[in-house]
Chains A and B, each alone.
Chain A
Amino acid sequence: MLDLTAHELAKKIEAGEISAHEAAATANARVGEVENDVNAFVTTTPELALERAGKVDAKNGDRRFWEGVPLVVKDVLSTRGVRTTCGSQMLKDFTPLYDASALTNFGEDLIMVGKANMDEFAMGSSTENSSYGVTRNPWDLARVPGGSSGGSAAAVAAGMGWWALGTDTGGSVRQPAALCGIVGLKPTYGRVSRYGLIAFASSLDQIGPMTRDVRDSALLLQAIAGHDPRDSTSANVEVPDYLADLEKGVSGLRVGVVTELMGEGIDPGVREVVQKTVSGLEEAGAEVGEVSLPHSRYGLAAYYIIAPAELSSNLARFDGVRYGYRSPDASGVHEMYRKTREEGFGDEAKRRIMLGTYALSSGYYDAYYAQAQKVRTRIVEDFRNAFSRYDVLVSPTSPSVAFEIGAKTDDPLAMYAQDVCAVPMSLAGIPAISVPGGLSEGLPVGVQLMSNHFTEPMLLRAARAAEQAADFEFTLKP
């Protein structure tokens, strides 16, 4: 059963060959086998999974196709009655009062394997910023799984559940998917409701599927997408059938390789895998060319102003008053705020709160935040130009394969550089997907495909063709 993809398992559950309860028990048993080595979870929920699986089985014919397949949920998504930590001491005993809309869309009786580990408040590219221990890459336990959705990626790669939800602000679904050899999709901004997603940067955050293959990605997006009156930024755009066009191939599709993301700073082994995948798409009938995104070199700088600015506002809510941690020994309210935040936040959260507060402070606002918002406009225009000539763009997902634990923890800038290929798409709000293209240094390389707003059906179709062209087969690790 562990060798099946999510849609294959869903089919067997539908046919009555496997029960949801058996699936949940299998996931729980796999957690028992490998979680000690991988540490993909902050909290596991084996009894809840079995109880809900029982309910799904009892529904018989009256259930959606995907409902019986156990899911891993990143610990930034609110789950009613189940502790939700965001990888932080600030929320170590926080139990949400409601479920995120993406989860209730999936199903009332969502069979959850557990809450996946992550960088604190989703800030990081290695899951080393978690207050609950580092998650290890199932391909090589001495290496990071990427981040911030590293726990979700590692759980899927290790078969602790068949699929997972992550969140992506500047690559946090795509980069860990690339480093763990799975498929990670950041949908169009607004495609999936952010209600119940504990906010990092509100104009960038998006929930996305992390799966074994592209068909599972399409299926999981189908399960969670849709307009939500509770999220004013969720898009009131009809949800199409993401599976209908999946096998239609790339014949006649115009594919542009992003020049700026195939040069300096990208490991040669990574470039080689991307080039091979592009050749595969060409052989499958795509028209291939090169495309320039001239402002992408400013993407990282703009991102590291806009995201910290937004998070410094969003994280102001953690003040020890209404929920979460409160420092026990403060004599006045201001000391209580300062101590609560000093003791509750980790290093990276503090660094980014400081960076964002500085960028928004009097005298610096125009030079940083206002300028970054204009750069964002230029980046949006770059993509608009590119999509007037190409249907799909291609680049690496991450500049390197998985690096060793501890290799970048003392150098924030080296860590931020991990996001260089991922942030322009986040700033523009377009959908982007990482598909395993092959190996370099014995480790998986992700190929990133992107397309215009709300064109996920075409993007998934191209990603499916890339997956077929790739020199890669999903196998359970470790």
Chain B
Amino acid sequence: MISEEQVRHVANLARLGLTDEEIQRMSGQLGAILESIDRIGELDLEGVPPTANPLNLTNVLRPDEPSAELSREEALAIAPDPVDDLFAVPRID
């Protein structure tokens, strides 16, 4: 099980608003899902290296050469609230 208090804590970490009803439902559903995935704890994997990428790629670099990218006008054209050539947000609290 995962408590409603834990659900609220995780929702806050994810900056995700949830209604009281959603929190209640999420507590039960996440609990059931976690119970089913807990089986991976059965395996003794001491010393096994982790796999983050199936091709085991590391540090793929490209030459650091400037090139034309999106213009400011284009980037701001799809913004919810562009002000003075910037992305505007409500008061930072």
Contacts of B40 in A (CB 8 A): 298, 301-302, 305, 368, 371-372, 375
- Provide the B55-76 mask, 1 if CB < 8 A to any CB of A, else 0: 1010010100000001000110
Whether A375 contacts B14 in the complex (CB less than 8 A), given A233-B60, A322-B79, A412-B33, comes out as no
Q: Which of A232, A332, A333 is close to B60, meaning CB atoms less than 8 Å apart? A: A232
B78 adjacent to A321 (CB under 8 Å): no
- Provide the A199-218 mask, 1 if CB < 8 A to any CB of B, else 0: 00001000000000000000
Which chain B residue shows the least CB distance to A332? B93
Instruction: Count how many chain A residues have C-beta atoms less than 8 Å from C-beta atoms of the other chain.
Output: 69
Instruction: Count how many chain B residues have C-beta atoms less than 8 Å from C-beta atoms of the other chain.
Output: 51
A203 adjacent to B45 (CB under 8 Å): no
A361 adjacent to B13 (CB under 8 Å): yes
Contacts of A321 in B (CB 8 A): 79-80, 87, 89
Whether A97 contacts B30 in the complex (CB less than 8 A), given A321-B89, A333-B91, A350-B18, comes out as no
Contacts of B29 in A (CB 8 A): 351, 412
How far is B13's CA from A326's CA once the two chains are assembled, in angstroms? Answer: 19
A63 within 8 A of B: no
A357 adjacent to B10 (CB under 8 Å): yes
A358 adjacent to B54 (CB under 8 Å): no
- Provide the A343-369 mask, 1 if CB < 8 A to any CB of B, else 0: 101000011011101100100000110
- What are 11 inter-chain pairs, A to B, with CB distance below 8 A? A203-B53, A301-B37, A304-B33, A304-B36, A321-B89, A331-B91, A333-B90, A335-B90, A412-B29, A413-B32, A429-B54
Chain B residues close to A by CB (< 8 Å): 2, 6-7, 10-11, 13-19, 22, 26, 29-30, 32-34, 36-41, 43, 45, 48-55, 57, 60, 62, 70, 74-75, 78-81, 87, 89-93
Besides the contacts A233-B57, A351-B30, A371-B45, what 20 more A-B pairs have beta carbons closer than 8 Å?
Answer: A97-B75, A189-B54, A203-B52, A229-B62, A235-B55, A304-B37, A321-B87, A332-B90, A339-B17, A342-B16, A342-B19, A343-B17, A351-B33, A358-B10, A358-B34, A375-B40, A375-B43, A376-B50, A377-B48, A429-B55
Q: Which 9 A-B pairs have the closest CB atoms?
A: A429-B54, A342-B17, A373-B50, A332-B93, A326-B80, A338-B17, A374-B45, A301-B37, A232-B60
